[in-house]
Amino acid sequence: MSILIYAESAEGKFKKVAFELASYAKKIAESLGTTVTALTINAGDTSELGKYGVDKVLKVTNDKLNNFNAKAYADAIKQAAEKESAKVIVLSSTTDSLYLAPLVSVNLNAGYASNVVALPVSTSPFQVKRNAFSNKAFNITQIDTDVKVLAIGKNSYGLVEASGAAAAEDFAPSISDADFGVQTQSVEKGSGKVTIADADVVVSGGRGLKGPENWGMIEELAAVLGAATACSKPVSDLGWRPHSEHVGQTGKPVATNLYIAVGISGAIQHIAGVNSSKVKVAINSDPEAPFFKVADYGVVGDAFQIVPALIEKLKAFKAQNS
């Protein structure tokens, strides 16, 4: 028996979430007295997985799987789980895995818990803590099925290095043409040095910036912080920024260490999608903006004065401490 994770990758490189899943699964494996196996699909060097607790890697190399296909990927995970006699399958809460998890649970007749934010409260019975009601509350969910599928909330556990190395093994799951009823015609990728999915810090802008011509200061602040840039729904709807940068309940959910909202009033859908971030900072000229009610730090004032001043202070701090 083994704990199985699906280690997501992009263009041959593992996403940060893959190492977080490995760290999480390693801790469960220790409590159950078992090992961690990672399934990779068209990934490159897998040795780094061993640094975070993976004991074995099942490497799938198949050109048909170059583009994400939920049904085909779910079939591959099912076959890997059966091969390893895995009773616990750990997935992420990325967009891809949100499609995958229900299919995997159906394939394995497994109970499924989404938005898991901590290690199991108990392994007998198997109980996990989850976010509920758009991150406004927690609940404890008990899974009684023999096989269990967990989807871990982003940035809810962190990275924990472990000593050891992962043994790699080629794995060729049976993939049929029936798996490709839905096919990818094209892929549009967002540009930027740091992706929202992998970012520890996100700088987000709203309609308070008044127009796309003022977005330079958001990008400059993000560059100083090594952050990803994002935006509210109205900004993407107006065409100021690409939809790939839209964050919130109706866009990409964000659970970063630091989320800075510039000129975003804080519609309930936006707040629900970013509320899992550990520290939230709001910069807005309206002292009654709803975002201030959930922000850890709030700055009332003109963003066109505050953000440039903040950038200069950060640059000076970095210069003194580099």
What pTM value is reported for the model? 0.81
Please answer whether residues 231 and 240 qualify as being in contact, where contact means their C-beta atoms are separated by less than 8 angstroms. yes
Separation CA 308–CA 221 (nearest Å) = 8
**pLDDT reading at 158 higher than 90:** no
Q: How confident is the model at residue 186 (pLDDT cuts 50, 70, 90)?
A: confident
pLDDT value at position 183? Answer: 78
pLDDT value at position 133? Answer: 79
Across 61-65, 88-92, 273-277, 288-292, least confident range: 273-277
Q: How confident is the model at residue 180 (pLDDT cuts 50, 70, 90)?
A: confident
Sheet containing strand 201-205, edge to edge, reads 228-231, 201-205, 258-262, 279-284, 297-300
Dihedral angle of Cα 209, 211, 215, 221, to the nearest 10 degrees: -10
Q: How confident is the model at residue 191 (pLDDT cuts 50, 70, 90)?
A: low
